[in-house]
Structure 1
């Protein structure tokens, strides 16, 4: 039994924040060097980084070895549920479409909507549809589902992963019914509505740009020449959706509302515009569009998951379904950590409480969707074209888990790494070093959110880590707290592009046809470039140059 208490310190090493931060960032450097330079398998990179983090925690930050082990175990538990639960469920749902043979009908449908142009289809799915799933689910489900869908549509695996991860970034802050925004407001002492309104003044500058970046990823400058008008409409309408929902409807619905609005706008535009499509980007589908019933069944995994998530997250008429589902959650005060892990003020840290989601988990909602889809596919073969059975659908789940085994191990190890870094104070030291820059912190503020999500894979966790620090730094430097809290939230979404957890999910979703290191090399420049733009926008906002809502 652990009887020692531990208070994380940002000056644990040589009584210096800077030195502590340099040591604290070593595990991340080890991970990315092993991955990008030595090209080791990702699970070995995670093991190496975890070992370095554990040694740093004990030797450098003074955390008892037993508490380091318990921190890793709590991270492992969080990695299993909800993260691995969601990933397995999402990939299973996608695999049902493939194994049932209905993937060809999916390609035919999006080929028709996207005028037979894979690039347009990638914009619709990788930006608008991904935003819809992010707003409803979050927690890696959008990346897992959308990256797999893009491969189904014929997009090359590396491009499919890159488009999904970059396109998903701007809506992460409003993901899972805007939990990151709510967290930032609660911990930072600012109304969440104010954080959301401020964020919606900043996100449009990036949201308008992203479709152009996605086109470049897909087809370079030729794509820009041929699709600039579609990218412009999609970006502007997505931005308008952010502003309208965050300020005038409900900030929890920001990503959902903006996604539906932008999808509808592009679909409407395509009724009056036929893009010039290079031969290599024409959809690989038959010329004849399937029947209405086949289209409905082919798209069933996607429209049904949206309905189930919408009901589970939004239905409060008569019965408050979100509250009812949340009431089944199990709160566990992590043995040996809770009560012994303290905050800087000496209070018991709430971070050592593990919330086991059961019925309220996005994974459960996806599993329910998959079971219904497997049953319906087993009962309806569309005239004998698609022979399938419910038992076969359940077997696909087992096959999915086996095929994901190494990626699942990687994700679990990365979450253990995140918890060791967080609980020992390593992540806090990095944040404190940046905050010590004073007025210049306005420019550096988004980097905290970027680092926090790069480490944990969660913008909610990044806000839980740094929201209080952002608010404190804002007060000390006479800056607007809502701007810095928004910066942390949006920066977190951009940091998710390079999160090891996200890299593993994306690589798994595209069928293992490209490695995490290849994806990292592809997306890292985009993540850093967008982060730099955000830093400039936040600095201008704090100087009163960028207008805010």
Structure 2
């Protein structure tokens, strides 16, 4: 049996790779690739020397990390290609001048794009897509690069659990053995509160206290609409489309609100106007995004999805155990649907858009070469950073270090554990870059501790997945994806998004404690 000092030392050493990355990125302003590489090396050394991870465990962990890296990088390259095509043709600039005609209110612009539209994209897409798509649009509207990344980063995570076709929620069901009917109500309630918190953070990031106060009414109207729609949809068993439907409802209410305020001409008139400087009307500028939505929706139709899913790259991994007894069960790594992946869907939209814009004369001579150069310039650095972050995460997971961190937090919290539950979910998402992985890694732990101390497992698990959803926003791997489409330093972005995210997670902790106090036993 370990002594208390030994357990504390284990926890501190398990935390060391995370601390290394945070210090290097926040204090010394290193980029994600350099800081991630050092964190990865620290994780490998600690896993081998302290936690008994042999060469086989570490080797398989790196292979699993390689597959996960390919999965994420596919999105990065696809999103960058989509951005470069639209930017080269002048679509981003046209939207930047067209949207203010719908509403000149900077706060409402941030809400519509960074909170509502990004949540809708999260409902359909996956890892990092909302930030990668929305950030360039905000830059086109005149937002600084830092704000352009922070706004969708803090705006979309409330939609993560019931977004990406419900993958995070299905993972929670699988990890705990509980039904979706049991888990959905409390999850939707806490995520609904998160929705309002994300909207408030979006307004603050767009312009501070004054913008927040000016936007409280649309924040409440749109936020309550999205929260209620998501609750109604998921409590009817439609878990895979909860966030998508909520985002769609939010878009309808948000646009109606902007037009009702009467600050500009109606949208239909704008669609026919031409932007003299960009040479493109707002209707054509919006076409790539409408096309992307149509392609993603089409991919959900069973015959289409089945056709796209013919080629899948996956690997089978054996059961692995460290010298200290931590066991990673046998299973497949992250499967990559070559033609149905979010990155592939972005590539299809990019190709069709390029061909159409070239036919329309929006792409000048040499456009293809400039697009390719622009994609490669940003994607290579982002891909290296992603590989390092993912490598560190899977190393810690296979060595038992990630579980040890959460277990230590749970033990230290004691009877105050309900307040710690969202932070454990956020920790898992921060480490792995995914709420899905956080639910897989920590779902059973949260359920067991809740049962042990006599509180409602359903509320605790809702706090787990809500905290994980918010925590995924400031996962370093996701920050790198966002920064890949906008020229911004990763360190300041991480610092800013983490500050907003931790405030929302703290609010979730308070809400969880209140729910338990009101009778959640």
Is the TM-score greater than 0.5? yes
What SS is found at the alignment partner of 2:226? helix
Q: How many Å apart are 1:398 and its aligned residue?
A: 4.4
Cα distance, 1:411 vs. partner? Answer: 0.9
Match for residue 85 of structure 2 among 77, 89, 96: 96
* Structure 1 equivalent of residue 358 of structure 2: 378
- The match for 1:63 among 31, 37, 53 is 53
Is 2:313 the partner of 1:330?
yes
Normalised to the residue count of structure 1, the TM-score between the two structures is 0.87
Range with bigger deviation, 477-486 or 22-31: 477-486
1:482 Cα offset (Å): 2.1
RMSD in angstroms over aligned alpha carbons? 2.7
C-alpha separation between the residues in 2 aligned to 1:91 and 1:12?
A: 49
Distance in 2 (alpha carbons) for counterparts of 1:174 and 1:13? 42
Q: Which residue pairs with 1:519 in the alignment?
A: 493
2:242 maps to 254
2:70 is the alignment partner of 1:87: no
The answer to whether the 8 A contact 1:13-1:60 is kept is no
1:109 CA displacement:
3.1
Distance 1:288 1:373, change over 3 A: closer
Q: Distance in 2 between matches of 1:462 and 1:344?
A: 23
| 1:327–1:166 Cα change, 3 Å | same
2: CA distance, partners of 1:392 / 1:92: 12
Structure 2: give runs of 5+ residues left out of the alignment: 265-269
**Shift in Å, 1:52:** 0.9
CA contact (8 A) 1:118 1:154 kept: no
Which whole-Å CA distance do the structure 1 matches of 2:393 and 2:283 have between them? 41
Q: How does 1:69-148 map to 2 (within 5 A)?
A: 69-79=59-69, 81-113=70-102, 115-148=103-136
In 1, the alpha carbon distance for the partners of 2:401 and 2:245 equals 38
Judged with a 3 Å threshold, the aligned counterparts in structure 2 of structure 1 residues 539 and 350 are, in CA distance, closer, same or farther, namely farther
- Alpha-carbon distance in structure 1 between the residues aligned to 2:4 and 2:66: 31
Residue in structure 2 matched with residue 290 of structure 1 by the alignment = 274
- 1:479: Cα distance to partner? 2.2
| Cα deviation, residue 492, structure 1 | 1.0
Tell me the residue number matched to 1:419: 394
Q: Is the 8 A contact 1:325 1:360 kept in 2?
A: yes
Contact 2:385 2:477 in 1 (8 A): yes
Distance 1:423 1:544, change over 3 A: same
Task: Report how far residue 352 of structure 1 moved.
Answer: 5.5
Quote the residue 1:407 is aligned against.
382
- Structure 1 residue matching 2:335: 3-state secondary structure: strand
Instruction: Return the offset for 1:402.
Output: 2.4
In 2 relative to 1, CA 303–394 (structure 1 residues): closer, same or farther, beyond 3 Å? Answer: farther
Moved more, 514-523 or 86-95: 514-523
- With normalisation by structure 2, the TM-score equals 0.91
Other structure's SS at 1:124 match: helix
Partner of 2:22: 32
Higher alpha-carbon deviation: 437-446 or 141-150: 437-446
Displacement of 1:293 in angstroms is 8.7
* Maintained 8 Å contact 1:17/1:429: no
- 1:166 CA drift (Å): 0.6
CA distance in 2, matches of 1:58, 1:153: 49
| Structure 1 residue ranges (4+ consecutive) displaced by more than 6 angstroms after TM superposition | 11-15, 342-348
Aligned partners of 1:447 and 1:491 also within 8 Å: yes
Kindly provide the CA deviation profile for residues 373-397 of structure 1, in whole angstroms up to 9, marking residues without a partner as x: 111111122xxxx2447x8347613
**Mapping 1:451-530, distance limit 5 Å:** 451-510=427-486, 512=487, 514-530=488-504
SS at match of 2:143: coil
- Is the contact between residue 198 and residue 483 of structure 1 (CA under 8 Å) also seen in structure 2? yes
Alpha-carbon offset, residue 415 of structure 1:
0.5
Superposition map of 1:67-466 within 5 A:
67-79=57-69, 81-113=70-102, 115-248=103-236, 250-274=238-262, 289-290=273-274, 294-313=281-300, 315-316=301-302, 319=303, 321-334=304-317, 338-341=318-321, 349-350=329-330, 353-381=333-361, 386-388=362-364, 392-393=367-368, 396-436=371-411, 437-466=413-442
- 1:282 aligns with none
Q: Deviations over 1:521-540 (max 9, x none)?
A: 22222111111111111122
Residue 544, structure 1, aligned to residue 514, structure 2: no
